Structures are given as structure tokens and as C-alpha cells.
Amino acid sequence: MITTTLLMALALAAGEAKKPLPTSRPARQVRHVVVFDFACKEKAKYGKQLADSVRLRLRRHDEYKVIDRFTTDEMTPAGGISLKTADKEIVALLKDNFAAHIAIFGSVQKMGLAVRAEIRCVDISGKMPIAWTKAFSDHTERARGVVARQIVEAIRGKPEWKPPACGDETEPKKFAKPLNINGDFESGKTGWKMGPDNVTTFLVADPRKGRRGKVLRIFTDVERDAWLKYRRDLMLGKADPKKPPKIGTIANKYGTVAGLEGVHYRSEWIKASPGRRYWLVTDMKGQTGGIFFPKIFIKGFADFSAVADGLSESALAKLGLTPDQFVALPREKQKQLIAEDAKKHPERHRREVYRWYLACRNEQNTWQHYAAPFPPRGGLPKNIQWLRIDIYAYWPPGEYFFDNVNLYADPRQKTPLPEEKPRTPHYKKPSTQPTSKK
């Protein structure tokens, strides 16, 4: 139900205010907003959380000044504010207690994933007070964020900015040659950093009926501690993936690889092209659940050798040094070893500066196709020099199959695109150069 005008009593109360607010609102006038905690019978804490989400979203907009939760709690009358509170009382609170223009209050119901909120807004910033009551609902895993966005859109009278999402663009029918090598896994470990470890990652015969060839199988129901030791031994050349240890699972699944690190399968380096857009595509089968699903990351890297002040464990092992022995060396000797290592093994000095992922949700546990473009906005940032595909699976514990993991240049792009600035205020890109001493 939506109410567009208040009772005559509300207008009368507005005229009796000790400190009348402006009766006309120029463009971009800053309006002060108080969001009272929403009542929730099922879970009182959830009503507070939803109110907080609304406060945070409103603060993103310069035209609003949102009164913080602690001040709101302190100034709220005993017994709180509810949909039964008379508009006359709300107007008095706005004027006398908060010196604010807009009040947001109401109730919320939560049953499982489903959320329904009945919210009332009282706005006294114009010539005549305006009020409305609206219902908002969602039943997805991110219901609180969705409902908070719906409420803010109603307050502002316009849609909120939404980040691009998978499915916004249709997948091109034709691509050129993949930019990565061996995305179909037919050439063994070629194109992939280490190849399968044969404990959590395997190259196996395609299990689909009537299909030939190989696919990547990732298995995450493996005892974590024993696997971590094995992976470290592989890195240091102390283990052979052709002769893997037998590592089983454990009863406490939070102690498996799935419960913490998860399993990564990384590609070789791919030269990046700033200003370009790409498409990542794959086929995947595996049982996912809720917010837990495999991801295929695209990670961007830059050369940080100019600011390196140490060596990796594998580099030190090759030199026969321990970390303590390296630290004990004269600083000039350390710099010399770092420079030599950077020249011989530049990949060791690349650091991540960008991340995006393709979400592979699959609660049906059937082979499905996934495709999405990136960056979601604009072209690839200029500071990215290399890309890497990182296939990642974790929870729930079990097996996941991947095939045809390919990176393509966007065939629809004709010219380089400018980089879109981050929406996070005051964000600064990491520097790959030493800071000048003043």
C-alpha cells in the first residue's frame, strides 16, 4: 500500500515545528536521513542488519547524510519506532530530536532464504510532507543486499547502479584462436604451470558418454595437512607427481583441502593487452551448494622486481640458503642475489594486481557451459602485464570436472577501450617502483 499524502494532523505538526526546515529543495540539496532499526519477530538481529545495509547504501550518495546507528539508538524513544507509530510523532522526532529530513522505519520477516520487508518513508524536506509504505522481498542467497537496494531505489526514486553480471551479454558465436594453450587438456600438462599432482588434480578420460579425449578432474576430499606437505615437496623438487603418495580423507571434512585452501590449477603466463576485453569460457560438472561453487579466476600480474627485498623459498633452496642466512648477508649481496634471480626467473617477481572470476554454479551436478566477458567495465587496466587462468574448486568436498577452459579476445571489440576507474573512493594502484626518499 502506498500513501502519497499525510493526514491533516501531520501537516499541522509540520507547521508547529520550532526549527522549520526549508520548504523548497534546490537540486542536490543534502538531506539528512535517519534509519531506525527494523522490527523482526523471527530474528531481531536481522532487522538491525538490514537497517545497517540501508544506511551503508544511502551513504554512497552525496545527496544524503545518514545519521549513524549509535546516535539513532540513543535518540530513539523507549519502545522503538514501528509501523504503528503515528506520522505526527515521526515528524516531531525528525524536527526535535534529529534535525533531519527523512525517516525510514518498518518491519521485516525472514523465513529461510526468503525475506519480506514492509517499509515506511516520511519525507519533510519539501513544501508538503510526503510519506509512503511499500513492501520489498527477495528469496535468493543475497536477499538482504537485494532488499536493501530495493529500499534505497524507492527512497531515491531511481535505479541503483548495478555491476555487470554474467549473462548480460550473449556469448559470441565465433572466436579466434584461444590465447591460452591446451585449454582442452588433450596435450597433457602443456600450457599449465605444474600439471596434475595426481592426488587432487588429474587428467582423466572424458566421462561423458560417446566422448573421447581428456578432462581435468579436481578432487577436494583429501586430508589437508598431508597434502600441503606433498605440495611443498613438489615445489622444492623433493617429490614426483608420477609417484604420488596415498592420501585419504578424514571424518571431519573441515580438515580436508575443501575446508580451507581448496585446489588451484594454474595456466602458464599469458601476455596481457591493456585496453582489451576478453571472454573466458568453460564446461564444468560438479555438485555445488549455495554460496560454494568452483571459480575460474583471471588474475593479472605486474613486475615488482624493482621493489623486491627478498627471495622466495624455492629460490633460497636453489641457492642452499635458509631465510636466516639470507637476512644475515650484507645488504648489497642481498640486492645482487635478488637482481640475478629476477633476471633468470622473472616470473618469481610478478605480483597480483587484478582479479576477476567466472562463477561455475551447478547444483544439478551435470555438464554445463559457462561464458562471460571481462573486464566487466572498460578495457584491461594499463598496469597489468601478464594474465593467468586459475581453476579453483573447494567446498563441498568432492570431485569437479573441467573441459575447454579457454581465454579469447573479444571478437566484438574494434578499438582499445579506456580503463574504467574503480568505484571504491581513494583507491590507489600498487606501485611497482621504489618510493622516492624525501
Q: For the segment 338-397, what is each residue's pLDDT rounded down to a tens digit?
A: 999 999 999 999 999 999 999 999 999 999 999 999 999 999 999 999 999 999 999 999
Residues in the chain predicted with pLDDT less than 50, given as ranges, are 1-26, 437-438
Task: Please report the pLDDT score of residue 423 as a whole number.
Answer: 75
Q: Does any domain span residue 1?
A: no
Task: Please report the pLDDT score of residue 5 as a whole number.
Answer: 40
Task: Please report the pLDDT score of residue 9 as a whole number.
Answer: 41
C-alpha dist (Å) from residue 24 to 17, 64, 95, 100, 183: 16, 16, 16, 15, 62
Claim to verify: residue 237 and residue 330 sit in the same structural domain:
yes
Q: How far apart are CA 240 and CA 237, in angstroms?
A: 8
Claim to verify: residue 122 and residue 267 sit in the same structural domain:
no
Q: Give residue 397's domain range.
A: 201-409
Return the bridge partners of 419, or none: 378
pLDDT digits (tens, 9 = 90+) for 215-268: 999 999 999 999 999 999 999 999 999 999 999 999 999 999 999 999 999 999
Claim to verify: residue 148 and residue 16 sit in the same structural domain:
yes
Contacts 24+ apart (CB under 8 A), 149-155: 149/57, 151/54, 151/104, 151/117, 151/119, 152/54, 152/57, 152/58, 154/119, 154/121, 155/33, 155/58, 155/102, 155/104, 155/121
Domain count along the chain: 2
Q: Does any domain span residue 244?
A: yes
> What CATH number has the domain bearing residue 111?
3.40.50.10070
| Average pLDDT across the chain, whole number | 91
Claim to verify: residue 214 and residue 352 sit in the same structural domain:
yes
Strands (E), 9-168: 31-35, 64-66, 102-111, 114-123, 130-138
Claim to verify: residue 124 and residue 228 sit in the same structural domain:
no
Claim to verify: residue 241 and residue 122 sit in the same structural domain:
no
Q: Does any domain span residue 349?
A: yes
Q: Does any domain span residue 2?
A: no
Claim to verify: residue 267 and residue 404 sit in the same structural domain:
yes
The pTM assigned to this predicted structure is 0.76
Q: Does any domain span residue 273?
A: yes
Contact (Cβ atoms closer than 8 angstroms) between residue 148 and residue 53: yes
Task: Please report the pLDDT score of residue 28 as a whole number.
Answer: 59
Q: Does any domain span residue 167?
A: no
Claim to verify: residue 106 and residue 228 sit in the same structural domain:
no
Q: Does any domain span residue 287?
A: yes
Q: How far apart are CA 34 and CA 55, in angstroms?
A: 8
Which of 102, 134, 156 is the last residue in one of the domains? 156
Which of 124, 156, 188 is the last residue in one of the domains? 156
Claim to verify: residue 240 and residue 97 sit in the same structural domain:
no
Claim to verify: residue 135 and residue 13 sit in the same structural domain:
yes
Residue-wise DSSP of 229-296:
HHHHHHHTT---TTS-------SSGGGBGGGTT-EEEEBPPEE--TT--EEEEEEEE---BTTB--EE
Q: How far apart are CA 191 and CA 179, in angstroms?
A: 11
Claim to verify: residue 363 and residue 215 sit in the same structural domain:
yes
Claim to verify: residue 43 and residue 105 sit in the same structural domain:
yes
Task: Please report the pLDDT score of residue 1 as a whole number.
Answer: 42
Coil, strand or helix at 368: strand
